[in-house]
Amino acid sequence: MKETPMRRLPMLLVLCSIMAAALAQAREPIVGLPCEGCEAVFDGLPATLASRARIVPTAEPGEPMLVSGRVLGPEGAPRAGIVVYAYQINDRGIYPPPSRGRVSHRHGALRAWVSSYGEGRYAFDTIRPASYPSRDTPQHIHLHVLERGCSTYYIDDILFKDDPLLSDAHARSRLGRGGPGIGTPKRHKGVWHITRDIRLGHNIPGYRPCVRRIAD
């Protein structure tokens, strides 16, 4: 009997289901719960990553900012091959809707990934975010870490010491996840610069050190 497209359809659906299940099992577990939206780190994750990436398009309005730092292991040694995921609002205080993806819709379109290299260094080109409209939340940039083959988790947002909305209460509420997230931005030739070093697993509940080292 000749096989028709309709007869092949059930088999294709089965194969798609098997592939989807395999991909889901291959994803690193989320630790440091509760973590709403942590699965978005996988949504749109590029196959190859550089150590520097743009969170916002070059034409995006706002004050340019360079976020840079180093990724350090629990023992303090630099770690290469660690994925850092960042997302933020724009200079009007909103998350522009993404063009794709359902898992990451709450993170908006301004998002990017990098992979640390050499001495654990990474960098993001972006703009300085605004505050949420009609709220007392300080300016911030969200960060997640993905240790391939081990786990993923969110770390403390990047906050700015010169932000008038950064109160003592906000500063005390930080848990130091991944190390201190509050930094002092400095402006040089029209670009804000801020450093955010990351300590893997620091103050992350349920974290176990990753024994799988990935070469740069």
Q: What is the dihedral of CA 17, 22, 24, 30, to 10 degrees?
A: 160
18 found inside a domain:
no
Give mean pLDDT, residues 30-41. 93
On whether residue 21 sits in a domain, the answer given is no
CATH code of the domain in which 135 resides: 2.60.130.10
Question: Would 91 be classed as within a structural domain?
Answer: yes
Question: What's residue 210's pLDDT?
Answer: 83
Is residue 95 in some structural domain? yes
Q: Are 94 and 135 in contact (CB under 8 A)?
A: no
Q: Flag whether 64 is in a domain.
A: yes
Q: How many domains does the chain have?
A: 1
* Beta strands at 198-199 and 121-127: parallel, antiparallel or unpaired: unpaired
Q: Domain of 107?
A: 29-199
At 45-75, the pLDDT tens digits run: 999 999 999 999 999 999 999 999 999 999 9
Region label for 38, one of left (φ > 0), alpha (ψ between -120 and 50) or beta (otherwise): alpha
Q: Are 45 and 110 in contact (CB under 8 A)?
A: no
Q: What pLDDT was estimated at residue 63?
A: 97
> Is residue 184 included in any domain, yes or no?
yes
How confident is the model over 116-133, as pLDDT tens digits? 998 999 999 999 999 999
Query: Is 68 part of any domain?
Result: yes
Q: What percent of the chain has pLDDT over 90?
A: 75
* pLDDT of amino acid 212: 53
Q: Quick check: is 60 in a domain? A: yes
- If you average pLDDT over residues 179-208, what whole number do you get? 97
pTM of the model: 0.85
